[in-house]
Structure 1
């Protein structure tokens, strides 16, 4: 009996071994087949400087953020030329810009998102990582030579590192800028400043002095009435005060290099100093209280009708304000200009990342027979010099000309005031420079669509400002991410609420220490401990 059992056992082992060998071969064959099955339409040879054109036509679903100023048109030259040049027919799912973030989340959660999901800012992808619905694109960048080349050439590795999740992978292809590109700042009535011999302020203290003078001269005017619920101004000001606020508040954490740890921004002396400064502006009638609650149109109307002299804005809004003021005040009766962002107690500092909003790719894309071609297409359109110029300027000879490297809109095409005589808008009529495809690129390309005035602003910022380095990442694990959300959300909400109260005077700044204690009572230390533990572990793993 024992010898029979031994023989049976030997037979079973041989059968098991045979099955394993067959399974192994089968797996190898299926893997090879799967790899081959992703190459349909891909170029066999594709590298830096190559124009992508699929070897076979295919359709590519894409989520499209529809901007009301230049709404989607099916017959845009943009779509026609993309198909002609690349053999790819884009099939957009149109979502109003105002609902884009919410609709994107719903589509991803339901599994109905298109394969390509653009207009995603760094950090926004984190919410979708744990579900497995978004592709870990870092596994595939060897298939994207233009993206890889720009990362290396512009030394963006450290900034890209900040996108890595706890698993060491990143899930977003960000837009890439060659240099930091500041845009938002204060727009002022330069004619009023010049009329009264008031120097253009270069610091927030100088701005205070200037506004005091304006208030004396125009007692019925509140010099500064702002838009964007004051979040943009808090953002640009906070850097000069050595902290974060407004649009830049983010997760509420600021890296303290001297201590090699993260601290909570709203609890610092620098934050208190920021609150104290703007509280002084409000209490002395220099900053409109309604800046924190009014609609943008209300703030704009005050500025363009002469009821205020200062507003936050960017290169596009300054042109829109001029168009309005030509009607309200008369073309020769005013002058306005962006000024360099004022410096603060921490110095003439500028924050900013060279990473722009970019593209998520649905995990379903890797199941597509066109997967490799999809990656090549995205790499060409979003990251090649040729693709970026096309997305911004359009078609040479049709929407622009290029002589000795200098691009110029054709006579009947206008964009953002570059060619005021043009009757056709580059965005509205043709679909180019619309924002879904046109972010990132070389400084030359970026500045090619700027007015001389805007280029001067960029140059002035570069001359006087020191760019603060990117902060190290805090790649929370999937398990910790939920804890972080539960801890951070009430802390941030409470900080934002009290920021407003302190500035407008609804809460006395003498209670700032009490405010910090209140945050501590809401789990602040637990949040900091978790963040710093994660950061230390990440640092040690490097």
Structure 2
């Protein structure tokens, strides 16, 4: 499974930046910066697979995304053990997760940001390039042997090259996955399906048929009521319809294409998905579900709590979710429906007209570095520290599982939480939570790594789901790059933001019946009147420059 999926992904992107791929870790546009004067505390023999330990006690500032489900604690084992192993203390500026992006922007604009800025999804760094607030990290990859080794081993050069800005450099160190990691899909009451001998749907057509059967059996209920304003569903479905939605990616896991662009391989040009027939087909399909009483029209406006409450009380039978959501749904259902009176499961993403497509990317949220760091005498040590914690096998294991003998045990390649520790459905009887009580697997440090490590923290049913997706679904082909100049980026942002808002508003109107589908052509013309053609001219010009530089797709 691993080899075949990796080959599929590599094939899909192999033309993305072919010429640059060979230089993604230090050649071509990347410069090996002189860091000879910034080696305070650095190891002279640091290398791939070697434990990083600063030669003197060091402290680095870090922006910390404080999650409400496992709020920051200064006495976590994470901090003391990290200092014990690396001789490094982290000085966090804690920011509530709900305000993280806004606070990050304010700190960077004011020049007050910490040196290490994690939880940055690829694309979010673009806003800070023109001001010089963040470091062109691609110039410093020679300081990061573990990152370089994973890029080479997993053939991640094409994906890294999609991060490059117009100057040929990239400004975020992404989390690296060995393979595409899907997570979001539809979650269904499989006990209800089994009770009525209804097979799990494998296509969107079959899904509609299942909803129709459930509606006939339970006429007083709407079988499908969604959360996240149905944006997760629209994003994962759009790929299977051969198009793209424009909705935010909820932390990068729904879609890697929140601008709603599609690439026409024949013409070699970008199009705005909402102007295409495939997008109309997607909207028409979802409109049909609502019109027939199969999908709750409140899916697009209700809060997550309202949608979840309908599902866990049996008012609906389908909702969007991920592996973590399933655990949460089950816990709530024990109180509403009673233990053993239900079964809930993720289903493989249904296939559409474009086939069984798996959205996602092998790049995860990552780290920006404050540009001021390059002049810090401890800069090299900081980069070595980041390389060890975020990119070495040992650092990734530590960030996810914690301390052997305290939070987990190891038997050969098999890892298991110690009896008193619980995490995301594993060891549900445990009295200590790996994230809440110890600080591990919290998301600021714990992402990326081998598929084996990723699967090691999953319930068996989730591993089975991942393997089924890898076997039956094809990874979505990433868009080719179109890096803007500073002027183009500013102009494009001014144009695309209202366009995306207009698309989202009218997509909702079409779906819930506030606007008839007979006005689709008028909608497309209205879109063009908002500057779509000029925006696409800018996108395609940027893409053409990238093609000329690289000879790629």
TM-score by length of 1: 0.93
Q: Are residues 1:224 and 2:232 paired?
A: no
In 2: Cα distance, 1:382 partner to 1:262 partner? 34
In 2: Cα distance, 1:204 partner to 1:269 partner? 17
In 2: Cα distance, 1:333 partner to 1:401 partner? 34
Q: Are residues 1:506 and 2:514 paired?
A: yes
In 1: Cα distance, 2:105 partner to 2:445 partner? 20
Q: Are residues 1:426 and 2:446 paired?
A: no
In the alignment, is the contact (CA less than 8 A) between 2:64 and 2:444 conserved in 1?
yes
In 1: Cα distance, 2:229 partner to 2:502 partner? 17
| Coordinate RMSD, CA, aligned | 0.8
| Match of residue 382 from structure 1 | 390
Q: Secondary structure at the match of 1:89?
A: strand
In the alignment, is the contact (CA less than 8 A) between 2:227 and 2:302 conserved in 1?
yes
Q: How far 1:443 sits from its partner (Å)?
A: 0.2
Of the structure 1 ranges 149-158 and 245-254, higher mean CA displacement relative to structure 2 is found in: 245-254
Q: Are residues 1:172 and 2:180 paired?
A: no
| Match of residue 21 from structure 2 | none
In 1: Cα distance, 2:362 partner to 2:108 partner? 27
Q: Are residues 1:316 and 2:316 paired?
A: no
In 2: Cα distance, 1:97 partner to 1:474 partner? 30
Of 335, 340, 362, 2:348 maps to 340
Of 528, 531, 541, 2:536 maps to 528
How many pairs are equivalent? 509
In the alignment, is the contact (CA less than 8 A) between 2:35 and 2:380 conserved in 1?
no
Unpaired runs of at least 5, structure 1 = 1-33
Q: Are residues 1:358 and 2:366 paired?
A: yes
In 2: Cα distance, 1:437 partner to 1:391 partner? 6
Q: Secondary structure at the match of 1:74?
A: coil
| Match of residue 151 from structure 1 | 151
In 1: Cα distance, 2:530 partner to 2:331 partner? 48
| Structure 2 counterparts to residues 93-492 of structure 1, below 5 A | 93-245=93-245, 246=247, 247=249, 248=255, 249-492=257-500
Q: How far 1:486 sits from its partner (Å)?
A: 1.2
Q: How far 1:470 sits from its partner (Å)?
A: 1.7
Deviations 1:95-144 (A, max 9, x none): 00000000000000000100000000000000000000100000000110
Q: How far 1:199 sits from its partner (Å)?
A: 1.0
Q: How far 1:346 sits from its partner (Å)?
A: 0.8
In 2: Cα distance, 1:406 partner to 1:356 partner? 25
Q: How far 1:93 sits from its partner (Å)?
A: 0.2
Q: How far 1:251 sits from its partner (Å)?
A: 1.8
Deviations 1:464-509 (A, max 9, x none): 1011222211110011111111111111111111110111111111
In 1: Cα distance, 2:477 partner to 2:56 partner? 45
Q: How far 1:36 sits from its partner (Å)?
A: 3.8
Q: Secondary structure at the match of 1:330?
A: coil
Q: How far 1:252 sits from its partner (Å)?
A: 2.3
Q: Secondary structure at the match of 2:186?
A: strand
Report the structure, 1 or 2, having the larger helix content.
1
In the alignment, is the contact (CA less than 8 A) between 2:390 and 2:446 conserved in 1?
yes
Q: How far 1:37 sits from its partner (Å)?
A: 2.9
In 2: Cα distance, 1:351 partner to 1:427 partner? 28
In 2: Cα distance, 1:392 partner to 1:126 partner? 29
Tell which has more relative contact order, 1 or 2 (C-alpha 8 A, sep 6+): 2
In 1: Cα distance, 2:525 partner to 2:236 partner? 27
Deviations 1:342-385 (A, max 9, x none): 00011111121100000000011111110000000000000000
Deviations 1:290-335 (A, max 9, x none): 1001010000100000000000000001001101101110111111
Of structures 1 and 2, the larger Rg is shown by 1
| Match of residue 86 from structure 1 | 86
Deviations 1:219-278 (A, max 9, x none): 111000000011000011111100111333522211111221111010110000000000
Q: Secondary structure at the match of 2:436?
A: coil
In 1: Cα distance, 2:176 partner to 2:359 partner? 16
Q: Secondary structure at the match of 1:92?
A: strand
Q: Secondary structure at the match of 1:492?
A: helix
Q: How far 1:510 sits from its partner (Å)?
A: 1.1
